[in-house]
Chain A
Amino acid sequence: MVNSSVIRRSWLIVPGYERAPIEYIRRYLPDVLVLDLEYTVPPKRKEEARANLGDAIRGLAQCPSEVFVRVDWKTRWCDVKAAIRPGLKGIILPGPELAKDVTEIDEFIADCEQQTGVIPGSIELALILESARGLWNAWNLSRASPRVTALGLGRVDLTMNLGPDPQGDFRIYPYLMSRVLATARALGKQPLGAHWRRGSRGGVDSPERTLEAAQRARYMGFTGCLCAKPEQVVPASQGFTPTTDEVSRLTRIQDMFEQIHKAGQVYADIDGRLYDSSKVQACRNLLLFAQACSRKDTDKALYGKAEVKQ
């Protein structure tokens, strides 16, 4: 089950060849830093990026962001091998379609863990679905390995050539979000994705629109998304965090329910709206989540201060 105190709202992608990815942490404080071997790395720099991962990951020890590596599906074997080392939290695997794709990688990761002295089973997998087949098989894919902790909707506007509909959404995009959400929640995985709309090509957008996309996704049940550009990190983290107004409202509901709900009743009436225990539990969940976000943000702020002091 996904630990609700694991907060991963913004996953910042930086090219794997970056010499000092720690700078991105200092400046933008993403919840997760993703060293990329895929889209952001042109063919002529792939070797360099792989070779750089060792130093990059070592340089990120002690920082509050978790470290993932996004591999390129076509070269996933040597990408995974280059990535697995102490300090790595997990692998982002874009584009799996069949359960056996995931099982094979799971086993390969186990071999790499053994060879590099990483705790066996500790490397997580985040699956990013980017094709119709992958989306159709989401259930089997997510169950194919216990390492899978996140299930995401990828930049399907690009990979599936989804054009915009008259209401400004990419064709069937909200439906795909719902499908990923249901599968992720049924299996206890983190649902990853933002509600990108017409104008956001491949999930790249302005800070204002990123905030909106993250917020809309939060209201659909998602808890984090990939950020292609550093400027998207703060709005993404913000968008996936309940606002102070929301927290006060939810707290009030919880408090009042205790007072109003009498044994033998099914609903309590709060300001003309009815609340059963499930609805109140939903509010409580979100309060716990908001508290966890708060703790995470405090940790990150302290790190920022500690860094400055040095």
Chain B
Amino acid sequence: MSKYVRRSLLTVPLSSLLPEWALKAGSDVVVLDLGPDTTQKRQNSSQSQIALAIRAAAETGAEVFVRIRPESTWADLELTVWPGLTGVVLARVQSPEDVAEASQQLTKLEQHRGIPKESLLIDAEIGSAMGALNSLDIARSSPRLCALTVGETSLYHDLHLDPEAALDQDPLRFIKGQILVNARASGLQAQGMSYPLSITLAKADETQLKQAVRRARDTGFKGAVCPHASWVKICNEGFRPSQDELAYYVKVKEVFEDGLRRGLASVPLEGRMVDVPVYRRAQVFLEWGEACARRDKEKQGRIAGS
């Protein structure tokens, strides 16, 4: 079963003062983002202010990641790696070397800043054709890696796609499939959203967003980057099985185990056959449901306590 319950990864601009909506959103993960301007002198926030911001975000119960930009990897890591951080999202990873370089610097920063050795995780964001083609090697390149994330807007830029076109089918469906398969093949999780919300990034109505999240889940994604707080609750609910689904999986388990007692390894249920992989899959979904429930309880406890 997948290790991490990270259904909603809320993007928050990194500054010394985190906005209310970010602190209240209830996401599994907060991704602190430095924004696009790598030349901007960061007089706004000093290192110590950023360290405080990280701790504040962590106190909401979310895991905290920082998004590191490829044009300024070293500087971004220097600025943002402080205790309280779970890991970093490396934007636009092109090759295993990108991961290796970041990992080396993380090791140094862990040492100098009192962070447990080799504890910081890496989420590699794939935002280019080169990255997608290299995604298997990237996924295997470091024990720090926990996930591959689809960098959809970046992919549109790299592939000369039109973010405004409304198409019948996702033009990135194969590349997303490749990223997902290569992540799973390497024991990592994958994060992404289904088309068209993955690119329109609309503050969609609840029904649309629910359907989109369901589709992302049915494709194999374990969570999605939330560009807006309105996505968080629906991602948290949508990336876990519903009560009805859980009830069905319990039935699947019972029916199969009953069959086993009768010496059968394949039993019918509502017109379909339940055999070994179907049974095991039901177990996985039930465990995932429990893990999500535990995570939600943990977050509630934090909010109540704060």
Contact = CB atoms under 8 A, between A and B. Distances in A.
Chain A directly contacts chain B within the complex, with at least one CB pair under 8 Å: yes
Interface in B149-182: 151, 153-154, 156-165, 167, 169, 171, 173-175
B13 interface: yes
A282 B162 contact: yes
B33 interface: yes
B36 to A, nearest CB: 4
Contacts of A276: 36, 153, 227
B166 to A, nearest CB: 10
A255 to B, nearest CB: 14
A122 interface: no
Given A266-B35, A274-B201, A221 B13 contact: no
Interface string A52-83: 00000000000000000000000000000000
Contact of A266 (B11, B127, B165): B11
Contacts of A174: 169, 174
Contacts of A182: 129, 132-133, 159, 175
A219 interface: yes
B15 A221 contact: no
B128 interface: yes
A183 B129 contact: yes
A296 interface: no
Contact of A267 (B15, B40, B201): B201
B270 interface: no
Interface stretch (A12-20, A26-34, A245-253, A300-308): A245-253
Interface in B1-59: 11-13, 15, 33, 35-37, 40, 44
A242 B202 contact: no
16 contacts: A174-B174, A175-B174, A178-B174, A182-B129, A186-B130, A219-B165, A246-B164, A249-B164, A266-B36, A267-B11, A272-B202, A273-B202, A276-B227, A278-B156, A281-B157, A282-B153
Interface residues of A, number: 40
A283 B35 contact: no
A265 to B, nearest CB: 6
B228 interface: yes
Contacts, number: 114
Given A186-B128, A221-B159, A265 B35 contact: yes
A43 to B, nearest CB: 39
Interface string B120-135: 0000000111101100
A207 B229 CA distance: 47
Contacts of A273: 200-203
B18 to A, nearest CB: 12
Contact of A275 (B13, B175, B201): B201
Contacts of A289: 160
Nearest to B171: A220
Most chain B CB atoms below 10 A, which of A182, A220, A250, A279: A182
B162 A242 contact: yes
Given A174-B174, A246-B164, A274-B228, 8 more contacts: A178-B174, A185-B128, A242-B162, A263-B40, A273-B201, A277-B36, A282-B162, A282-B163
Contacts of B164: 246, 249-250, 253, 283
B177 to A, nearest CB: 9
Contact of B171 (A219, A242, A266, A277): A219
Nearest to A285: B160
Contacts of B132: 182, 186
Most chain B CB atoms below 10 A, which of A183, A223, A279, A283: A279
B203 A274 contact: yes
Given A186-B128, A253-B164, A264-B44, A178 B175 contact: yes
A178 B163 CA distance: 17
B15 A264 contact: yes
Nearest to A167: B169
A139 interface: yes
A279 B11 contact: no
